[in-house]
């Protein structure tokens, strides 16, 4: 446990000792403000709620999360420090979990910094506090799923740009599976039951369910499964490359 804490601390310090953390946080906050108040026309909706705010999270995460995670393993491999990491008295699984948790905690900090949005809707009206909480929970779990996928692509390539592009493509497909227009196209070509199965693998489908204020265990299990599966594949890839 001490080793995991040590690596998490090391990774978090690496974020905040470089401009990357501050640039990401500023871009994330500006993006959420822009999409909520300008694209989402928050004030025109005449609703004191955060539905519009969370509506754009799957699309914002599509680019921002890969930007955070693309260097988790690519940079280690490119700089050669990955060999030093593996000489430490830790297992491969501990290293994978530690680096993932550091990135997830960083993203969680960025999410927490959006609290002025919560204060704004509470000032304007009486929003459903339960729905606000579950939406943040869903957003955090969804961000972890994006990050787990990015960990895989980062382990596959030394090039951070390639890692970024691959993770964006994979995550885009995972979001698109539950998108209304895409679902309508599938219904014309496939049986409804098959379309339902395909849509069940969508990030946005499960996020929309949680953001309504109801935490269904199936939605939580879906995200945790993606995270666990992503980290498992991450460890397998690193083990294979370590053996080469």
pLDDT in tens, 47-78: 767 888 898 999 999 999 998 888 888 877 77
Number of domains observed in the structure of the chain? 1
- Supply the pLDDT for residue 94: 85
- Supply the pLDDT for residue 83: 65
Q: How many CB atoms lie within 10 A of CB 20?
A: 15
Q: What is the pLDDT of residues 208-239, one digit of tens each?
A: 889 888 888 889 999 999 999 999 999 998 88
Q: What is the pLDDT of residues 109-135, one digit of tens each?
A: 999 999 988 888 888 777 788 888 999
Q: Work out the percent of the chain whose per-residue pLDDT is above 70.
A: 92
Return mean pLDDT, the chain: 85
Least confident piece of the model among 29-43, 85-99, 109-123, 176-190 = 176-190
- Supply the pLDDT for residue 197: 78
Domain that holds residue 135: 2-243
For residue 180, pLDDT over 60 is answered with yes
What is the CA angle 61-105-229, rounded to 5?
70
């Amino acid at each position: 446990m001490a080793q995991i804490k040590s690596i998490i601390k090391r990774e978090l310090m690496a974020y905040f000792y470089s401009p990357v953390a501050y640039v990401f946080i500023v871009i994330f906050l500006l993006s959420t403000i822009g999409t909520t108040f300008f694209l989402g026309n928050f004030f025109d909706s005449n609703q004191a709620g955060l539905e519009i705010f969370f509506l754009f999270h799957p699309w914002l995460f599509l680019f921002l999360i890969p930007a955070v995670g693309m260097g988790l393993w690519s940079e280690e491999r490119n700089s050669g420090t990955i060999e030093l990491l593996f000489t430490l008295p830790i297992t491969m699984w501990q290293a994978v979990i530690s680096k993932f948790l550091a990135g997830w905690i960083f993203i969680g900090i960025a999410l927490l910094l959006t609290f002025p949005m919560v204060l704004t809707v509470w000032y304007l009206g009486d929003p459903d506090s339960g729905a606000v909480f579950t939406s943040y929970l869903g957003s955090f779990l969804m961000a972890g799923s994006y990050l787990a996928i990015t960990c895989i692509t980062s382990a596959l390539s030394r090039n951070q740009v390639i890692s970024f592009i691959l993770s964006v493509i994979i995550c885009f497909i995972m979001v698109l599976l539950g998108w209304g227009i895409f679902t309508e196209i599938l219904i014309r070509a496939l049986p409804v039951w098959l379309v339902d199965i395909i849509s069940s693998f969508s990030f946005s489908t499960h996020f929309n369910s949680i953001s309504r204020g109801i935490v269904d265990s199936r939605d939580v299990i879906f995200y945790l499964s993606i995270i666990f599966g992503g980290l498992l594949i991450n460890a397998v890839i690193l083990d294979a490359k370590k053996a080469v």
